[in-house]
Copies of this chain bind each other. A is one copy, B any other.
Amino acid sequence: MSGVWRLFGVWPMPQQITQSTDRYLLSPQSFSFSYSKDSAAQSGCSVLDSAFKRYYSLIFPDAADGARKTEFSINTLVAAGAAALKAQSVWGALRGRVYSLIYSLHCIYYFVNKTEIQDFPRFEFRGLLLDTSRHYLPLNAILKTLDAMAYSKFNVFHWHIVDDPSFPYQSYSYPDLSSKGAFHPMTHIYTQSDVKRVISHARMRGIRVIPEFDTPGHTQSWGKGQPNLLTPCYKGDVPSGTFGPVNPILDSTYQFMSGLFKEMKSVFPDSYVHLGGDEVNFACWKSNPNVRAFMTKMGFGHDYTKLESYYIENIVNISSALNKTPIVWQDVFDYRERIPKDTVLEIWKGVPADYRTELAKITHAGYRVLLSAPWYINHISYGQDWRNSYTVQPQNFSGTDQQKALVIGGEVCMWGEYVDATNLHPRLWPRACAAAERLWSNEEMTSNVDQAFPRLEKFRCSLIRRGIQAEPLFVGYCKDEYRGV
């Protein structure tokens, strides 16, 4: 690899890149994208057509005031040349953008060095979780996040759309869920049209949208709009007035879930669905005499993990019947529910020693796995904490090559306890970029965090130029920052 100095702004690092000092001048006036004659994709492919439009203005940020620019006869300086991009799919072509290689001098001339790139992602699943229940995130905050995700080659938006505090998803089958469970029934909701817009905005950027409807725990807000869904907790012999997890003993529960997931199938096209399954508190179930009677009837004894398994098994079956591949949090594996082998487990707990043990266990059992534990970037600390995210080694655990291959990727999680639209973007960017490179790039080529620093610093400046409110890594400045973002 030569000419690393020109790679400053390239993030994540491509698998192979060769650069020479030959450089070409690009002219905003004559530059264009076109489809190769033998390409399966041709003009009319909306994903690429609109990407070309976006990429053009990223390459030539000042081309809007092009009229003045033509006063300089820069066309006369243009080197004859063209660039070719081969990709196996539209999505590959989408991510095969090269605009980070292009640099400008004096904001008038645009150059690119002669470069050859062979690239592919190390992991197929490079996700980012937003939590829209603990705080509502306005639609624009989500769309902007999708923009920034695409710049870092994230390809999955994990939408933790509902949880205990609020239920902002406006269901057409069960409208009371949001009208009674959202922070505000009119302003703090995602309408069907909002959801469509998110899915379409994501798709145009090569990002799949996986919604999470987490049950049986984390469902307090569901209870407001869906009577008899949650388990009534008891104090002694009488209901206490509070409610616990979803009530797993009623047929009506599964009828409701079936209806809701049928709606989800029609709304969210992705083949994955996240079913949650984390942090179920058994105290309320234990307090309820009807639940206890059910336990006896089913032969579960006093083992409430069996009741949870029973519930999750039913929900997994509902989603499988709808041809959705379930993702669940690691808790579901830890309780050893009988779940289909195509289920993906997501690891969220513990320090490296813990999640490495879990990686080994889950892959040993033959399940595919996603790693999130080291990427809970809602946790902040003073200074450059992106370095911790960067040095994560997702396949560094005891296991065979087959086991390692079951690690399909990971997710950056931005839980919402302390985050809303006021601080989302600067907390996400460029901190999330560290995981983005870890999930995309060759581990050896990106093993040195100090070498990554100036490249990430430059990349952060290009995020700023593209309107993403990415916070600084350290003392310094970006050329375009002085106006504020």
Q: Are B184 and A136 in contact (CB under 8 A)?
A: no
Query: In the complex, what's the smallest C-beta–C-beta distance from A66 to chain B, in angstroms?
Result: 22
A144 — nearest CB in chain B belongs to which residue?
B484
Identify which of residues 378-426 in chain A touch chain B, using a CB-to-CB cut-off of 8 Å: 378-383, 416-423, 425-426
Contact residue among B184, B425, B473, B479 (Cβ-Cβ distance under 8 Å from A477): B184
Task: Indicate whether A352 reaches chain B with its CB closer than 8 angstroms.
Answer: no
List the B side residues contacting A421 at CB < 8 Å: 481, 484-485
A138 touches B379 (CB 8 A): no
Identical copies of this chain, number: 2
Contact of A426 among B187, B378, B426, B475 (CB under 8 A): B426
Taking a contact as CB atoms closer than 8 A, the residue among B166, B379, B481 that contacts A420 in the complex is B481
Mark out the residues of chain A between 417 and 466 whose CB falls within 8 Å of any chain B CB in the assembled complex.
417-423, 425-427, 464
B418 and A471 contact, CB distance less than 8 A: yes
Give bound CA distance, A418 to B381, whole Å. Answer: 11
Is A167 an interface residue, CB under 8 A from the partner? no
How distant is A226 from chain B, measured CB to nearest CB, in Å? Answer: 21
Whether the Cβ atoms of B165 and A471 lie closer than 8 Å is no
Which B residues lie within 8 Å of A383 (CB)? 417-418
Which residue from chain B places its CB closest to the CB of A417 in the assembled complex?
A: B475
Contacting residues of chain A (87-125) with chain B, CB-CB under 8 angstroms: none
* A 354-393 contacts with B by CB, 8 A: 378-383
**Nearest chain-B residue to A472 (Cβ)?**
B420
Contact A135 B418 (CB under 8 A): no
Most buried by B among A383, A423, A482: A482
Task: Let me know if B136 and A481 touch, CB within 8 A.
Answer: yes
B166 and A464: CB pair below 8 A? Answer: no
Interface contact A474-B422, CB-CB below 8 Å = no
User: B484 touching A138 by the CB < 8 A rule?
Assistant: yes
A205 at the interface (CB under 8 A from B): no
Question: How far apart sit A421 and B184, CA to CA, in the bound complex (Å)?
Answer: 31
Q: Tell yes or no: A44 within 8 A of B by CB.
A: no
Q: Is the beta-carbon distance between B381 and A140 smaller than 8 angstroms?
A: no
In the complex, 5 of the A-B residue pairs with CB atoms within 8 angstroms, ordered by the A residue number, are: A136-B481, A138-B483, A379-B382, A380-B380, A423-B472
Interface residues in chain A, defined as those with a beta carbon under 8 Å from any beta carbon in chain B: 134-136, 138, 140-141, 165-166, 183-184, 187-188, 378-383, 416-423, 425-427, 464, 469-477, 479, 481-485
